[in-house]
Amino acid sequence: MSPSAVALSVIFAIVGIGSGIGFYAGARYKMDLEQWAVAGRGFGLLLVWLLMAGEIYTTFSFLGASGWAYSQGGPTLYILAYLTLGYVVSFYILPPIWEVGRKYRLQTQSDFFQCRYGSKYLAALVALVGVIFLIPYLQLQLTGLGIIVEVASFEGIGRTPAMLLAFALVAGFVWFSGVRAVAWVSVLKDLLLLCAAVTIGVEVPRIYFGGIGPMFAALARAKPAHLTMPGATANQGHAWFISTVLLTSFGFYMWPQAMRSSFTAKSGDTLRRNSVLLPLYTITLPLIFFVGFAAILIVPGLKNGDLSLLTVVRQTFPAWFLGLIGGAGALTAMVPAAMQILTAATLFAKNLYRPIFAPSMTDAQVGRLARMMVLVITAIALYFAIYSSTTLVALLLLGYAGVTQFFPGVVLGLFSRRVTTAGVFSGMAVGVVAAALFMLSKHDPLFGLNAGFVALCLNFLVVGVVSLLTSGQTSPFAETAPQPE
Amino acid sequence: MKPPSLGAIFLGLIPFVAVCFSVSLWDRVHPMVLGLPFNLFWLILWILLTPVCMWYAYRLEAPRAPNHFSRKERVRP
């Protein structure tokens, strides 16, 4: 067998096993909307950990982080900082979100806004913004899958057919199994990713440089500026770092799918312990960075940095190992993509379409519409993945600029009594429009700051001012005394 | 909702200062520690120290939470 045939068969075997586990996990339960979307709210510490880690450690951290280490250098360190701090933020906000979620039987992020602010239009805006900014994230996963198959086939299979295949697999997976599938496939995925990261993170520097220390010493001699900020970029210095880390760590659990997976937990305490432990999971990420940095000296001059990790693996290890890494990477893209599609589809059907256009729809009809939307949303992301080219990290930052605009509404909604519906609505609208304008007119970074962060500051400002002008609204969450059971 | 206690918020601010606001103090290559550039070493160190801070925050927060039964997992009715 040729190396590409070996590598591809290993990848498809791993994806096959993963999908098998997923279908099996889903097949044992009757799939109503509650089961499909939040697995009956029965996940304990281990499954929640797997689900959350599963959707957070995505193809972005695998190919994107190494890609930025390769092409941008120092600024890529923001990823280590924001993941750590994202869990710190989650410690304070997820347990109360879970309490509210259980009390009012919430399934989606938009339900949270509906419940707190009592406006179906605000809830619909949240759903719309959530679906729109999930698309770049989904595009990121599909692009990652395309890159994996392209490199593993030694450029024999083009990226477009590869992405079409990925599209079919992911959509089928979500359609049949819902959220349980995702949690169980995470087990396999995380195990593979851990082995992959440790092996290549240690072995690549050892084979080419004799170890991690000598590798960085060589890099510090050859390109000293690359290892610190702004690295290879012109305008991503320390102000950019601080603003980006704040934006992304606040936005970490504002992703509709991330907030939603907190509803699958058994108790608020599960989530609190989870946020204490999850930063440790980040410890494998620096190994991925090592490969990206090593690639600068091993395979200089790649046009697309996102290819660097796989290109180095391909020229260093046998084909079956490339297949193993590719398979791990493929699951790393599929699992979060599945979760994102699931969330976007539920949001669209339940929180946007039904309340605004068809209030008489039954739950069963909403469930069917959600499943149809799985196909539509994946197709849209596929379209963008085929017709646009941008780095994986840039795609994620675009998504963050959008979803972090939920942060003021969520945090103030939980802890403040003064914030009003009009305030949150206008703040969010201003934030999203500002973020979109800055990004589309290529004003990112703006004054050295992350443009999404500037939009977030405007958002907070507007929420504050408008809430003061429209005061007098009460919060349904105001008095949540410990509930007797 | 009851906001978190001041002590727990303070413990959460420590990692924010360490890996975010103080970036210009630690963003350099030398001195290399354990073969790593200093900035990378610093961030990895704080991946390990952050759970320590948050564990203390957990000790402060958990007893205040609704439905808290010592350290046992609550069983759903």
pLDDT digits over B18-59, tens only? 999 998 888 888 888 998 999 999 999 999 999 999 999 998
According to the model, what pLDDT value does residue A405 have? Answer: 92
State whether A96 and B12 contact (CB < 8 Å). Answer: no
The Cα of B31 is separated from the nearest Cα of chain A by a number of Å equal to: 11
* pLDDT at residue A38, as a whole number: 56
Reported as a single tens digit per residue, the pLDDT across A4-19 is 888 888 888 888 887 7
Q: Which two tokens stand for residue B62?
A: 């958990």
Q: For chain A, what are the domain ranges?
A: 3-398
Digit-coded pLDDT (tens) for A204-262: 999 999 989 999 999 888 888 888 888 777 788 888 899 999 999 999 889 888 877 77
- Interchain CB contact of B54 with A (< 8 Å): yes
Helix (H) or strand (E) holding A453: helix A451-469
Cα dist from B14 to A90, A363, A421, B42, whole Å: 15, 46, 33, 14
Q: Is a pLDDT exceeding 60 seen at residue A485?
A: no
Q: Do B61 and A214 touch (CB under 8 A)?
A: no
> Is residue A137 packed enough to be buried (19+ CB in 10 Å), middle (13-18) or exposed (0-12)?
buried
Separation between Cα atoms, residue A210 and residue A204, nearest integer Å: 9
Parent domain of B20: 11-63
A481 pLDDT tier (thresholds 50, 70, 90): very low
Least Cα separation, residue B14 to chain A (angstroms)? 10
Q: Among partner residues A85, A477, A482, which is closest to B67 by beta-carbon distance?
A: A482
Residue pLDDT, tens place only, A303-353: 888 889 999 999 999 988 888 888 888 888 887 787 788 888 888 888 888
In a domain, B41, yes or no: yes
Are the CB atoms for A145 and A334 separated by under 8 Å? yes
- At A249 the pLDDT is 92
The residue type at A216: F
Nearest residue on chain B to A286, judged by CA atoms? B44
Q: How confident is the model at residue A483 (pLDDT cuts 50, 70, 90)?
A: very low
Q: Name the domain count of chain B.
A: 1
Q: Which of A403, A407, A402 is nearest to A460 (CA)?
A: A407
Q: Is B64 on the interface with A (CB under 8 A)?
A: no
pLDDT tens digits, A23-82: 776 666 655 555 555 555 556 666 666 666 655 667 788 888 899 899 888 888 998 999
Q: Are A97 and A414 in contact (CB under 8 A)?
A: yes
Q: What architecture is the A3-398 domain classified under in CATH?
A: Up-down Bundle (1.20)
**What is the DSSP secondary-structure string of A55-123?**
HHS-HIIIIIHHHHHHHT-GGGGHHHHHHHHHHHHHHHHHHHHHHHHHHTT--SHHHHHHHHH--HHHH
Chain A: nearest CA to B63, how far in angstroms? 10
Say if B75 falls within a structural domain: no
**Cβ A283–B24 below 8 Å, yes or no?**
no
User: Who among B48, B54, B68 is closest to A276 (CB)?
Assistant: B54
Rounded mean pLDDT, A429-445: 85
Question: Two tokens at A379?
Answer: 């197709």
Residue contact A80–B47, C-beta within 8 A: yes
Q: Kindly report, residue by residue over A270-296, the tens digit of the pLDDT.
A: 788 888 888 887 888 888 899 999 999
Tell me what the pLDDT averaged over chain A comes to: 83
Q: Tell me which of A297-306, A403-412, B62-71 is least confident.
A: B62-71
Report whether pLDDT(A264) > 90.
no
pLDDT computed for residue A12 by the predictor:
84
- Distance of alpha carbon A201 from its chain centroid, rounded? 23
Residues of B in contact with A94 (CB under 8 A): none
**Cβ proximity of A401 and A433 under 8 Å:** no
**What pLDDT was estimated at residue A20?**
79
Asked, for residue B70, whether it belongs to a domain, the answer is no
Of A81, A220, A483, the CB nearest to B66: A483
Q: Give chain B's largest Cα–Cα span.
A: 57
| Residue B7 touches partner A, C-beta closer than 8 Å | no
Rounded-to-integer distance, Cα A410 and Cα A90, Å: 12
**Does residue B18 lie within any of the structural domains?**
yes
Name the residue facing B27 among A238, A268, A282 (closest C-beta). Answer: A238
Amino acid at position A365, single letter: Q
